[in-house]
Amino acid sequence: MDQLIKRKSKRGRSWLVGVWLMLLTSLSVMAADKKEEKEIPLDPVTGMKMTGDWELVRNNCIMCHSPQLFLRQKGTLVTWKEIVHWMQKEGGLWPLPPELEEKIVTYLAANYGPSDAYRRAPIPATYMPTNPYESKIKKDVQKKRAAGLIPVRKP
């Protein structure tokens, strides 16, 4: 009888050890996941990802507006280049030496690039349902209007 109890408790303990091991491994896996997510630290002042040439971007892009204006955007290298040129034309951004511009757009495209989570490709027209508002009458009217058969009323 004594022996039976002993054996039972031993088995109970090994079961507990198993549970502990499982818990520990899952915890360490979770910790590793978290680490990966937080790989790039954010600058507490601007909220920018502190990597690469982020300071060059900060020095040139937060003088006139909040960094959120560009941190909320997503773009490819080409899009970011267009934004910088538009900034120079319309926003008063000063001229940038080509190599500095390259560094700025490279940082922006690498860290604020397009992502699957935000945009999807447009649905091809062949997959779309027919337009319920497209009627024969409407088409006729459009044709007549294009031909100048319907007088335009002035407001």
Cα dihedral across residues 10, 12, 16, 18: positive or negative = positive
Nearer CB in complex with ligand HEC: 25/59: 59
Instruction: Return the structure tokens found at 132.
Output: 């319920």
Minimum separation from the CB atom of position 132 to ligand HEC (A):
34
d(CA 140, CA 110): 51
Plot region of 52 (φ>0 → left; ψ -120 to 50 → alpha; else → beta): left
Residue 116 CB, nearest distance to ligand HEC (Å)?
A: 21
Query: Cα separation of 124 and 73, whole Å?
Result: 25
Nearer Cβ to ligand HEC (60/148): 60
Report, in angstroms and rounded to the nearest whole number, the Rg of the chain calculated over CA atoms.
Answer: 31
Comparison of 38 and 89: residue with beta carbon closer to ligand HEC: 89
CB of 141 to ligand HEC, least distance (A): 38
Rounded CA-CA distance 139/22 in Å is 68
Distance CA 53, CA 80 (A): 15
Give least dist CB 80 to ligand HEC, A. 7
To ligand HEC, the closest distance from the beta carbon of 67 in angstroms equals 9
Q: Which is nearer to ligand HEC, 104 or 109 (CB)?
A: 104
| CB closer to ligand HEC, 51 vs 135 | 51
List residues near ligand HEC by CB under 6 A: 60-61, 63-65, 69-70, 73, 83-84, 87, 90-93, 104
Closest Cα to residue 19, out of 8, 9, 27? 27
